[in-house]
Structure 1
C-alpha cells in the first residue's frame, strides 16, 4: 500500500479497538500530540477506540494534560506499559482504581524492546532490573492489582547468571512525529532535537503487520530530502498526518531554552557563574569531588541537585575534561533541565535512544550524579513511587545497574527543611518533616545488595552527612561542620548506619564562599574511594 495523506481526525478514526500502540516521545519531543488529542476526543464522543494497550519508553507529556494524559479516560485503556509516569498525573488515579493494567519498566529496556519487536524476538534478555521492583521476585514491574493478572517479565539463568526475560509486544499501531515528510512517506527530524525510538517503533509495527502513523510539520516534494536525513523510510509508513496550525504549540517544545539553566551552562568563563552558597551548593560541591581528574563520560539525572553538580563543575573550573550524556541520545553540549530535560544545547552528536542504552548497558559511563529521594539500611534507593504517586523509573534503573561510580544527591530530610551556610558551618534553622533514611524503601528503584555484588562504587551525598555502600549496608564516613552527630544525623534515621572508625568532618572549604576556583583538586587526600 502506498502512503496516504490524512488529517489527525481521520487518523484517530483508523485506530481499532484493542489496538496495541507503540508510542514515541520524550516529554514534548517527537510527540504526535494532535493525533493523541483526537483519539481522546473520539473515545469521549463515540466510545472508540476502547481497551487499547499503550507501550512507551520515556515520560511523555507536560505534567498537566498533554502526551499520555490524553489516555486518562476510563475505558480507553486496557494496559499501559511506560518507562516514566510523572508527566501523566491524570493517569495515576485511574491506575490506583485499577481501571487498567499499569506497568513500569526501565526506559532503556523499553527502548530496546521495540527494536526486538521489529526482529520478532519473543523476549528481551537483560540484567537490568534485577533486585529492583521490576524483578518478578518482587513485583514484576506491576503498579496495581489489575496488572497481577499478567506476567510480562520472568527470570531465567544463562551461564549460571540470573537474567530478566521481558515479554516483547507485537504492536499493530505506531504513533510518531517528525518534521518533514516527502510524497513517498520518507520522514526527517530537522526540528526535533532527538530521534529517540522512531525508527524502531515504525519498524516494529510494520513488521508485525500493523499501521504506522507519522504526524509531521509539512509535506514536501519527493527528492527534496537528503537520504541520510531520513530516519523513517517511507516503506515503513502507512499514513502521514500533516499537522494543523493549532497543534503547533506542542511542536518541539524542547527547542525553547530554559533561560536560567542555559545561561549558566553555556558560559565559557567560569568567573561568570556564581551559584549561591546554600545547602544545595554544599551537596553539589561534595558530590563533584568524586569526578576523576582524567577525562570522564558523565550522566546527570533530572532534578536540582544533579543539575547543580553540572553548574559547580563549570563554576569551579573542573568541567573541561567532561563529556556529558543524556539518556535519550545526546553526547556533549549543555544538557537542559526542567521541561527541556533530555535535550542539550549544541550537542557534539545525537544518536537513537536504544543505542544510547546499549552504551550505558555496556558500562560506557564513568560516573553518574542522580537524585536521592529515599534510602534504607541496605542501601536501596527509591525514586519511583511514593504512596499513590507514581513517578516511574525512567532510565534510573538502567543507569544505576551499569555505571561503576554512582553519586546519589539530596537533602537529608524533606518537607519544609530550612538551612543556612555561614562561618564555614552548616546551620539547621528548621528541620524537615520527613526523614529520607528509612528501614525499608517503598519501592526498590536501586538495589544496594546487587550493586555491592557488582563491585560498584556507591555514595550518598547530603548536606550534612556522606555515606558509602559497604557489605552490610551504608557506612557514615563524613559529617558537616556544625552538625551534631546524634541529634542532626542519627536522630533522623530509622536505623543506625555503620559508623566508620575514620569518621571525620567534611572539608570546611566546601562551606566557604570562594572554594576551588584556584584549586580544582581540593580534598584529594580526603576523597573516599572504597573498594566493594
Structure 2
C-alpha cells in the first residue's frame, strides 16, 4: 500500500475495535497527542474503537488530561500494559473498578519488548524484576483483579539461574510522533528531545502485519532530509499525519521546543548554583559523599526532589563536570532536567534510542545511581510504586536498581507534616512527620534487598538524620546526625529495630554547615 497523508481525525477513524496498540512517548516528548485526542472523541461519540490493548514503555501524560489519560473511558480499554501510571490519573478509577486489565512492567523491559516483537521472538528473557512485584511469585505485575485473567510473565531457569520471561505482544497499530516526514514517509525527530522507542515500535507493528501512524509537524520534499537523521524509514510507515495544531509538537504542555535539548553546541553559562542549607541539602550532601571520584564516572539521577538535589549539590561543589550523567530516555551527558521536562537534558553529549540505554543499564554500564526513598522495610526492600489505592508504577526504577553496582536511596526519615531546621551544625526536628517510612513490610516490592545482596550490590539508604547500609540480614544503621537522639528520633520512628553498627558514627558535622567543600568519602 502506498503511503497515505491524512489528518488526525481520519487516523482515529482507521483504528479498529480490539486493536493492539504500541504507543511511544515520555511525558510529552514523542507523544502523538492530537491523534489520541481525536481517538477519545470518536469513542465518546460512537463507542468505537473499543476493547483496545495498549502497550507503552514510559509514562505518557501531564498528570491531568493528556497522553494515556485519553484512554480513560469505560469500555475503551481491554488491557493496558504500561511502565508508569502516575501521569495518567484519570485511568486510576477505571483500573480500580476492574474496567480493564492493568499491568505495570519495568520501563526498560517494555522498551526492549517492542524490539523483540519486531523480531518475532516469543518472550523477552531478563533478570529484571526478579524478587519485585513483577515477579510471578508475587503478583506478576498485575494491578487489579481483572488482570488475574492473564499471565504475561513467567519464571524460567537457564543454566541453573532464574530469569523472567515476559510475553511479547503482536501490535497491529503503532501510534508515533516525529518532527518531519518527506513524501516517501521517512521520519526525522529534529524537534523532539529524544527518539525513545519509535523505531522499535514502528518495526514491531509493521512486521506483525499492522499499520503505522506517525504524527508530524510538517511534510517536506523527498530527498531533502539527511539519511542519517531518519529514524523511521518510510518502508515502515503507512500513514503520515500532519498535525493541524503545530503546538502539538512541543515537549510538554509548558515548554516549547528548546534547541538546547538536542544540540551539544548550544551551551549557555549556568547561573551560580546556591542550594539553601535545609534537610534536602543535608541528604544530598551525605548521599554524594558516597560517590567516589576515582571510580564512579557514569551516574544516573532518578526523578524526585532528593535525587535532583544530589545533582545540584554536585554542581555547586564543582564535581558534576567530572562525571557523565545519564537519563533512561536515552541521553548521555549534559544537565538532566526535572519536572515536565524529565527525560531531556540541556546540551547532552549523545542521545540514543531508549532500548539501547536500558541494554547499557542491564549490563551494569552505570557505576552509581541516586534514587528516591519512599518506603523501606526491615529486609531492605523499597517501595516507590504503590501507596494504598494509588499506583505510581515502577518506571525505570526496577531496571536501574537491578544491575547497578552502587545504589543510593535518598529521602526524609518520616513524611506528612515533617518540619526540620539545620542550625548551629546540628539537625533540629521541630515537628515529626505523621507517616513512618521505615516499615515492617513495604506495600509493594519495587526493589528487593535480598536479590541485591545476593548480587553483591552496595546499597545505602540516606536520610537527613540517619544512614543505613544493606547487609545480609537487612538494614544496618551506620550513622546518625548531630543533634539527633538515637531512641527518640530514630528507633521510635521505625516499625522495626534495625541492626545497629558496633561502630555507630556521627555524620560529618561539615554536612550541616556553610560553606563546605570536598567532604571526604565517609563510606
Task: Provide TM-score, normalisation by structure 2.
Answer: 0.97
Change beyond 3 A, Cα 1:10–1:171: same
Q: In the alignment, does 2:501 pair up with 1:500?
A: yes
| Aligned-partner SS, 2:399 | helix
Q: Contact (CA 8 Å) 1:193, 1:255: kept in 2 or not?
A: no
Q: Which residue of 2 aligns with 1:137?
A: 137
Q: Which residue of 2 aligns with 1:37?
A: 37
Q: Which residue of 1 aligns with 2:27?
A: 27
| Aligned-partner SS, 2:201 | helix
Q: Which residue of 1 aligns with 2:392?
A: 391
| Aligned-partner SS, 2:18 | coil
Q: In the alignment, does 2:48 pair up with 1:48?
A: yes
Q: In the alignment, does 2:163 pair up with 1:166?
A: no
Q: In the alignment, does 2:238 pair up with 1:241?
A: no
Q: Which residue of 2 aligns with 1:374?
A: 375
Q: How does 1:92-491 map to 2 (within 5 A)?
A: 92-245=92-245, 248-249=247-248, 251-253=250-252, 272-294=272-294, 296-491=297-492
CA drift of 1:267 comes to 7.7
Q: What is the root-mean-square deviation in Å for CA atoms of aligned residues?
A: 1.3
Q: Contact (CA 8 Å) 2:34, 2:248: kept in 1 or not?
A: no
Structure 1 ranges of 4+ moved more than 3 A:
254-257, 266-270
The count of corresponding residues between Structure 1 and Structure 2 is 513
| Aligned-partner SS, 1:399 | helix
Q: Contact (CA 8 Å) 2:191, 2:257: kept in 1 or not?
A: no
Q: Contact (CA 8 Å) 1:380, 1:448: kept in 2 or not?
A: yes
Rounded Cα–Cα distance in structure 2 between residues aligned with 1:372 and 1:235:
45
Rounded Cα–Cα distance in structure 1 between residues aligned with 2:211 and 2:270:
51
Rounded Cα–Cα distance in structure 1 between residues aligned with 2:286 and 2:250:
39
| Aligned-partner SS, 2:241 | strand
CA drift of 1:255 comes to 5.0
Q: Contact (CA 8 Å) 1:305, 1:371: kept in 2 or not?
A: yes
Q: Contact (CA 8 Å) 1:3, 1:238: kept in 2 or not?
A: yes
Rounded Cα–Cα distance in structure 1 between residues aligned with 2:471 and 2:486:
20
| Aligned-partner SS, 1:136 | coil
Q: Contact (CA 8 Å) 2:368, 2:406: kept in 1 or not?
A: yes
Q: Contact (CA 8 Å) 1:256, 1:340: kept in 2 or not?
A: no
Rounded Cα–Cα distance in structure 1 between residues aligned with 2:508 and 2:268:
28
Task: Provide TM-score, normalisation by structure 1.
Answer: 0.95
Rounded Cα–Cα distance in structure 1 between residues aligned with 2:240 and 2:348:
29
Q: How does 1:61-76 map to 2 (within 5 A)?
A: 61-76=61-76
Unaligned runs of 5+ in 1: 260-265
Q: Contact (CA 8 Å) 1:267, 1:273: kept in 2 or not?
A: no
